[in-house]
A and B are shown apart, each in its own frame.
Chain A
């Protein structure tokens, strides 16, 4: 019994050591993809509410298409399809695929965050001589952050999990490392258990962090009274 336990402990230690170098890769893919998604998402979200017809329609189409096609298919399309033409490496292709896909979800979050701010704020800004864009940038969007932070954080956690999909194009992140360990040593139960636990630790840590962020954005200036 004791020898079985020590064997198991040694095996698990072995797996963890094998997988650990892949953790920064997963984090890097997630952070890079999500940064791209934030920038693109904000641009598309603002385009979505634009009064210029074709901008709004383009944004709507962008959002609908990207949300309607599985991420895995988008990864294949960008790496094998576009990647051939543009000669993208695995990392760039993976980051692009996840980033672009998530930008569609973030665009909708930004749009709803902007919509949630009372139109009278817009009017107050314009009455002071601001253009529509200046009003958005200095008055509306800063107020929207408080509203969009929690759903954006949820998307960030989701994108961390979805980054496992890029293992399919050979990026050496956690899931890929798990598959390689399995194919070398044929240990399936323990390998996938550990892979799952590593993801779980990361997502739970992030969720805790989000709570702090929410509290940080909740205070200054926002009591119960809103004008």
Chain B
């Protein structure tokens, strides 16, 4: 078990974004989180990367406990890569230096090593010829692929994808999903929040349906998408499919 989440509660004022979530993820497992807007999908992923504080409960990632006094944040974030809806590339750096920066600063790799790693990953995501371009010169799909390469460069054990295709034009969704499909083949542990139900069906080991900060139902894609037990799951799927 690589991720253990127990009774997680995260609230903003009186608004409970997560209200008692418990979830275990095995190494190499692909878990897709679905649910309406504001159901807590993003907050859950952000808690796993310690970008969001939580009020009670427990998160353990590869035996490292995310402490509320933030003692182990740094170690946790090295294990967990994250890709954001809005890409969040560094606009002042060209693509290759976006991928190099944290390798140098955080992983303390040599310039040559970091550059070689960056080129290798940019080739994987199909951006080898865009290495010298600045983010503003790229399409949304290209930016998101660069962001995935940037996260992978840190050699994380787990990758979190927070609605990574939601800000993209429809014709660019495919190229980003293709890169993610490639990752699943490599056995990466992945958690993703998405509205791409078709993609979820294809790659997920497990689909978790969240609503109002609680897990309503979870199971294999076949069970959740074809034979949901809960009425709410069915209603949600009818709306998005």
Chain A residues within CB distance 8 Å of chain B: 120-121, 123-131, 134, 138-139, 142-143, 146, 220-227
Contacts and interface: CB of A to CB of B under 8 A. Distances in A.
A138 B102 CA distance: 9
B82 A127 contact: yes
Report the 10 A-B pairs with minimum CB-CB distance, sorted nearest first: A221-B134, A223-B136, A124-B88, A128-B102, A129-B106, A127-B82, A129-B77, A225-B136, A129-B78, A120-B88
A223 B154 contact: no
A227 B84 CA distance: 11
B89 A227 contact: yes
A222 B86 CA distance: 17
A176 B101 CA distance: 50
21 contacts: A120-B84, A120-B86, A123-B51, A124-B88, A125-B102, A127-B49, A127-B51, A127-B77, A127-B80, A134-B106, A139-B101, A143-B90, A143-B92, A220-B92, A221-B93, A221-B94, A223-B134, A223-B136, A225-B135, A227-B91, A227-B143
B166 to A, nearest CB: 14
Contacts of A121: 88, 90
B120 to A, nearest CB: 18
Interface residues of B, number: 31
B91 A128 contact: no
B74 interface: yes
Contacts of B105: 130, 134, 138
Contact of A226 (B91, B107, B137): B91
A126 B77 contact: yes
A227 B154 contact: no
Contacts of A220: 92, 134
Nearest to B101: A138
Given A129-B106, A130-B102, A130-B106, A139 B90 contact: yes
B150 interface: yes
Contact of A143 (B49, B88, B91, B143): B91
Interface string B91-103: 1111000000110
Contact of A129 (B74, B84, B88): B74
Contacts of B87: 227
A138 B86 CA distance: 20
A222 B77 contact: no
Given A221-B134, A223-B136, A128 B154 contact: yes
A129 B82 CA distance: 10
A128 B150 contact: yes
B115 to A, nearest CB: 16
B44 interface: no
B73 to A, nearest CB: 8
B77 A227 contact: no
Contacts of B151: 127-128
Given A127-B49, A127-B80, A127-B84, 16 more contacts: A120-B84, A124-B88, A124-B90, A126-B51, A128-B151, A129-B74, A129-B78, A129-B107, A129-B154, A134-B106, A138-B101, A221-B93, A222-B92, A223-B134, A225-B136, A227-B136
Nearest to A142: B92
B240 to A, nearest CB: 26
A222 B136 contact: yes
